[in-house]
Amino acid sequence: MGSLAIRKVAYFGDQYFFESPTFDDGLSIIEGPNGTGKSTFFNLIYYGLGGKVDEFDSNSLETHKEIIGDSNNMVRLVIQIGGELFTLNRRLRENSITVVKASTAIDDVTTTVDSITLPIQRREDTKTFSDWLLERLNIPVVDIFQGGKQFKLNFSDLARLIYHNQSPDPNGIYKPAEVSNFISDSLEIRKAIFQILIGKTLLDLYDAIGKQKLAERDTATAKAVHQEYENIVEQLLKASGITDVANTKALAERIEGLEAQIEKLLATRRGFSRGELGSAEAQKSLDAELANVRAFEVRRRELDEEREKLVQEAGRLIDVERSLQADIERINKVIYAHGQLNLFSSDTCPYCLNDVARTPGHCICGNKVEELDFQRFFYSPAEYLDILKSKSKTLETLRLAIAGVREDSVRWSSERAVVQERLQLHRVRLQEANASPASVEQAMEELDTKLLETRDRLAKATEAFRLETRLDELLKRYKSKKTAFDLAKAEVIRLDGESKTELHKQVEAFNRVYNESMTSVVAECRNASIDSQTYLPLINNGEYREHSAKVPKRFLYYLALMQLSLLSDVPFPRLLLVDTPETAGIDFERLIKMLKQIQLLENPNARHFQILFSTGVKKYPAEFEGNVVMKLTESARLLTKREKTETEA
């Protein structure tokens, strides 16, 4: 999997600036007393990676006065992902990050500089900076479904086990969520973060679960569209006088038979027309003109009948459209009322709207009811939204049909004008030849009537075939979506089995590392592990709650994740950001012993990793002196104030 490292951190503003040295792999220490900017340093990194920092928001209760009071300010990071360097630029108070990939020279040919600006906040399906970063780290963007809602897990979520901040809660392991609510900080979300970071198969499982949910939604939509269109087809066929249901094969055979019948009638009519008139040159001329007149008259009648059908079909479609619009308006009102007032539930009195302590299996009036039948009259907002989406999709399909009818009407008008013009032309020619179509009117009337009837049946069969063909297409689409859903479900089941085995092995490996480090640092700790359900630490089987163990319990948890990533190929990006852990309360001797565990990290595969660590003055093992890359003091704080020029003064 990919690795992430911070190579440089910089801040630029009109009043203040900061630029760090280059950070190498391994441990880098930022040393300084409280209030000199150690936390600001990590906040700049987190902000540059797309995170939300309350102190950088002017609307927060507690703000960073230098940064909030500065102008034209931005954060710049140089990061390394795998073997590639990228520069990230994020301006304060803006919702985007510009990613710049530096030019490289290959065989004396210099490539151009690539840059892209990506939003931080997600808007529909737009690719975000987090998506880009996770993609570079070979971590799929996972969809999480909880509480009837769907959202994507971002890098800032995974960073809750990468960024060891100064947590106000010493009992907490995870960095607090950016938006604290029952979903973002739920146990399920925290479990998902841990599982994704330690297991490749677990990552595939969450990706497969997201695909399964999307396939399930697509299947439900395709089924609803098919059912709605089936109802519309049934109504249109009944309105056209077609009562028998036939599939496309039967309709194709019916159309073929009607076309053959029409051809026979036309042949009979032509033969009768030739025998009705006498022979001579006049007969040929009259035959031709009479045939033309009859053909155009028949076509005009067909067009008039077609126009009548178009009017009727348009009326029916408009009626159905109005009905659907009314349904959608009613559902919107229900959703609004339910969302504002939460009026309807199975445990609410419909008269006084007070909650009722309803006995299961009984109505609020006391009568016995079937629980499933009782519940089906009450829907959640999510279910109402699904119904609304289905109706809206049907309305969209119906409007396409109405547009088709309008196009047919335009075509009809154009063709009938042409037919009428040509009919008039041939009638003039008949008059000039002193011929009259009345001489064959009676003889051909019966044939014309049969032709019109047969053509009417053919038109209805053709329309039914068109509707059934579209219905077949929608049914095939639904079956295809259903097959995709079944395959996605089977893949989830397969990965679930594999992931349980992998998770068990990874948790055992984590426990070995965690137990070894905790028992080495905390003398009172007999054993340390994580709960198999919550993945939270258990010290002495959950009985040991000494406050002094809170700091190593959290820090060594993060360090164990790092160790796991060095020993096996897991998604954890082999980066730790640790901000002054001793502030949560730990004696100096135990702090030194805890930090020495960094030296014991095993790296048999020589993998790249990085730990950026801040601490107080000399609050680290003596052998770490060479790892100190930044020293902050009261006189040399993190942010340096720019000197005013003579013009500014």
The confidence score (pLDDT) of residue 304 equals 80
Three-state secondary-structure class, residue 490? helix
Instruction: Please write the tens of the pLDDT for every residue from 449-473.
Output: 788 888 888 888 888 888 888 888 8
| pLDDT(432) > 80 | no
| pLDDT(79) > 90 | yes
The confidence score (pLDDT) of residue 100 equals 92
| pLDDT(523) > 70 | yes
| pLDDT(589) > 70 | yes
Instruction: Please write the tens of the pLDDT for every residue from 153-177.
Output: 889 999 999 999 987 565 678 888 8
Higher pLDDT, 242 or 493: 493
User: 103-112, 345-354, 393-402 — which is least confidently predicted?
Assistant: 103-112
The confidence score (pLDDT) of residue 276 equals 45
The confidence score (pLDDT) of residue 545 equals 63
Three-state secondary-structure class, residue 280? coil
Answering whether pTM is above 0.95, one says no
Q: What stretch of H or E contains 436?
A: none
User: 194-208, 210-224, 255-269, 616-630 — which is least confidently predicted?
Assistant: 194-208
| pLDDT(147) > 70 | no
Kindly state the percentage of the chain with pLDDT values over 70: 80
φ, ψ dihedrals at 602, nearest 5°: -90, 135
φ, ψ dihedrals at 178, nearest 5°: -65, -40
The confidence score (pLDDT) of residue 334 equals 73
| Angstrom distance (rounded) from CA 217 to CA 161 | 32
Average pLDDT over residues 223-241: 80
Average pLDDT over residues 208-226: 84
Average pLDDT over residues 14-33: 95
Domain chopping of the chain, boundaries: 4-198+522-641, 221-496
DSSP state of 444: H
Three-state secondary-structure class, residue 84? strand
User: 194-208, 478-492, 595-609, 624-638 — which is least confidently predicted?
Assistant: 194-208
Average pLDDT over residues 514-530: 91
Query: 471, 226 in Cβ contact below 8 A?
Result: yes
**Nearest alpha-carbon partner for 397 in 269, 226, 517, 645:** 226
Higher pLDDT, 483 or 125: 483
Mean pLDDT, the chain, integer: 81
Give residue 374's pLDDT band: very low, low, confident or very high (50, 70, 90).
Answer: very low
Instruction: Please write the tens of the pLDDT for every residue from 439-451.
Output: 445 446 667 778 8
| Angstrom distance (rounded) from CA 219 to CA 224 | 9
Higher pLDDT, 34 or 313: 34
User: 107-121, 355-369, 431-445, 576-590 — which is least confidently predicted?
Assistant: 431-445
Average pLDDT over residues 78-91: 93
User: 37-41, 233-237, 515-519, 603-607 — which is least confidently predicted?
Assistant: 233-237
| Angstrom distance (rounded) from CA 411 to CA 382 | 44
Q: Which fold has domain 4-198+522-641?
A: Rossmann fold (3.40.50)
| pLDDT(438) > 50 | no
Instruction: Please write the tens of the pLDDT for every residue from 524-551.
Output: 888 999 988 888 898 888 776 666 678 8
In which region does residue 357 sit, left (phi positive, over 0), alpha (psi from -120 to 50) or beta (all else)? beta
